[in-house]
Chains A and B, each alone.
Chain A
């Protein structure tokens, strides 16, 4: 997928200028945390579950060589063909080869952020294949020629009216009203049902790979992933090597966390586990199954100080709780993964230069770390990435010089407090009548959007000392 993260600020400004989009995102930012909190409260020992899964994920990553080899062995014994792909291009090429070997023309695809990352759809379409996304949200953005705005709800940026216009334009089904959301879902169901039944190849992702038995876990509400996994003659599971877990029980622990964190449901309608191709005694199922394990810099992350990021289970909870994501929406981030997890992952999977704005798209409020089911320290990682940007001189020179000056001053608390005391007193004297400043030197970014309130006269430290003295008396 083409990256536009460099344009984050312009994208964000455009998103904020769209009043309808802002209102829609405000509603989602209000309700999704409420739903998640209710599900967490109803679960009971949620923190114990979270810490357990964190330990299991860390253990899996610490011993990934062992569990990856075990998964490969079990999956192969189950009849799967297991492939390793170093890069996005290699994964795409393996998938196209499999499709061509079977003379496939139609592909039914379940939701997979990994294939968004590799740009699989475009690749297969250039290879002459008709690829249809079957998750409703993914189908909508595919028909609109857009990309997902959220890793769980790809089309939540679109209104029902926009989707209605889209369907009337794209589906040649004659005169109809499509007044309700049910009508829209019903029409997509009819259109996609034919595709499910005709596709020669199904492509899905995986929520977990189980080392002890070679099964792959798939969690969905719509059932589209299961239709992709069961109806076509060939099934390709596109996933990444960090999805491997030791035991089946570990996958179910992830299931408990994932769904509550993602949608606030206790579980999805469909949780399925697939071991391999159809056997002689089976009534249906794919005749051939492939599992492609993508690296694409994940082994670099494993070897780095950012290895905690590989614990991410792609629930989207950090997106739902992030004030920056709520304000700008997912498209502003300019690549596959938006929000806090995307601001960490994108620089690691692409480059720090190409994603320079993303680690700075953070208010350091810490909500993402509080709600992350894998307890990933996202704000710390964003800070470390900003530090790296500064060390590598990706950050503008004026900003680095300003930070150096600030660091020099902060290391001299006496001088710092003296100078800030003077600054605050001067600003208080100048601004006390109007109550604020419409413009300030070196703070144009702030005052271009809102007034800077006039300080009340004394710095925090001055007030602290004053109160301490009065308490002593």
Chain B
């Protein structure tokens, strides 16, 4: 039934199309150029990323190194759950974190019933939208992104990308190298809904809170610029 429908549909589609050859179509497509991106709140991608994380109703910590990141994660867990436990994907980068420095007790695998907090290591951070980007897989089970109450995300500052086009250049390279991911998740905030009277509520189905830990060389000036822009003020230029 479906193959007959396919033949009928394709015949109708063909009869309405220009009938150009592949080379002509690809040439015409290339001539269309690329879409303009949103104007960034700051010329520095790192500042823009931090501003957009905050605008996305995320919370943000900045850590100069892995030890500081673990301590910040430990503080977050204690502050919100009086706990030291979380679940994390089987990512070697997470396994190599100095967990003892923050007194954190991770369990590696997929989130299970009763577990409230998951930690993921983002493949990239995206300045244009303030999203953290993941390939689903063993290192990052999709459940860990979607089912916890609190989703903690580590992002390396040197993996920040300026816009969606640069993200797809990276993804296309991965696909060309035979690493096509089943799913690509661009997560830009806690789960939300405005379906009742247009009032925004966080924690519709997915995480109620989304906490980003940006790890790497981020100067105090950059952080101040981001917080000032988020507060609606013009921040000092980054160093």
- In the complex, A443 has a CB within 8 A of chain B: no
Could you tell me the distance between the alpha carbons of A299 and B110 in the complex, rounded to whole angstroms? 44
Could you tell me the distance between the alpha carbons of A274 and B182 in the complex, rounded to whole angstroms? 6
Cβ contact within 8 Å between B192 and A221? yes
Which A residues are in CB contact (< 8 Å) with B15? 303
Could you tell me the distance between the alpha carbons of A158 and B181 in the complex, rounded to whole angstroms? 40
Given A31-B198, A192-B205, residue A267 in contact with residue B188 (CB < 8 A): yes
Which A residues are in CB contact (< 8 Å) with B137? 281-283
Within 8 A of A (CB), among B131-159: 131, 136-138, 140-143, 145-147
Which B residues are in CB contact (< 8 Å) with A163? 196
The segment from B24-32, B68-76, B222-230 that touches chain A is: B24-32
Interface string of A161-194 (1 = CB under 8 A from B): 0010000000000000000011011101100110
Could you tell me the distance between the alpha carbons of A155 and B147 in the complex, rounded to whole angstroms? 25
Residue of A nearest to B58 (CB): A269
Within 8 A of B (CB), among A225-278: 226-227, 229-231, 241, 246-250, 252-253, 255-256, 263, 266-278
Q: Which of A227, A271, A273, A283 has the most CB of B within 10 A?
A: A283
Interface range, B side: 35 or more
Could you tell me the distance between the alpha carbons of A90 and B37 in the complex, rounded to whole angstroms? 40
Within 8 A of A (CB), among B165-192: 165, 167-168, 171-172, 175, 180-192
Residue of B nearest to A284 (CB): B141
Cβ contact within 8 Å between A189 and B1? no
Which B residues are in CB contact (< 8 Å) with A135? 195
Within 8 A of B (CB), among A301-360: 302-303, 307
Residue of B nearest to A302 (CB): B16
Could you tell me the distance between the alpha carbons of A445 and B117 in the complex, rounded to whole angstroms? 62
Which B residues are in CB contact (< 8 Å) with A252? 35, 164-165, 167-168
Within 8 A of A (CB), among B2-31: 2-3, 5-6, 8-10, 12-20, 22, 25, 28-29
Chain B nearest Cβ from A129, distance in angstroms: 20
The segment from A45-53, A116-124, A386-394 that touches chain B is: A45-53
Could you tell me the distance between the alpha carbons of A221 and B192 in the complex, rounded to whole angstroms? 5
Which B residues are in CB contact (< 8 Å) with A241? 9, 13
Which of B1, B56, B165, B198 contacts A28, CB < 8 Å? B198
Cβ contact within 8 Å between B196 and A230? no
Which A residues are in CB contact (< 8 Å) with B146? 223, 226-227, 230
- In the complex, B204 has a CB within 8 A of chain A: yes
Cβ contact within 8 Å between A66 and B184? no
Which of B3, B14, B38, B207 contacts A256, CB < 8 Å? B38
Could you tell me the distance between the alpha carbons of A86 and B204 in the complex, rounded to whole angstroms? 35
Residue of A nearest to B8 (CB): A86
- In the complex, A65 has a CB within 8 A of chain B: yes
Residue of A nearest to B183 (CB): A274
Cβ contact within 8 Å between B183 and A272? yes
- In the complex, A22 has a CB within 8 A of chain B: no
Within 8 A of A (CB), among B52-76: 52, 55-56
Chain B interface residues (CB < 8 Å from chain A):
1-3, 5-6, 8-10, 12-20, 22, 25, 28-29, 32-39, 52, 55-56, 89-90, 109-110, 129, 131, 136-138, 140-143, 145-147, 164-165, 167-168, 171-172, 175, 180-199, 201, 203-207
Chain A interface residues (CB < 8 Å from chain B):
24, 27-28, 31, 42-45, 48-49, 52-53, 55-56, 59, 62-66, 68-69, 78, 83-86, 90, 93-94, 134-137, 140, 153-156, 158-160, 163, 181-182, 184-186, 188-189, 192-193, 196, 213, 215, 221-224, 226-227, 229-231, 241, 246-250, 252-253, 255-256, 263, 266-279, 281-285, 293, 295, 299-300, 302-303, 307
Given contacts A85-B5, A256-B164, A283-B109, 13 further A-B contacts (CB under 8 A): A49-B36, A52-B32, A52-B35, A63-B28, A65-B10, A65-B17, A135-B195, A221-B204, A246-B29, A253-B35, A266-B38, A267-B188, A299-B12
Show 18 residue pairs from A and B whose CB-CB distance is below 8 angstroms, ordered by the A residue.
Answer: A52-B35, A56-B35, A134-B205, A135-B195, A163-B196, A213-B175, A221-B192, A222-B192, A224-B205, A227-B205, A227-B206, A249-B165, A256-B37, A271-B131, A275-B182, A283-B141, A283-B143, A302-B16
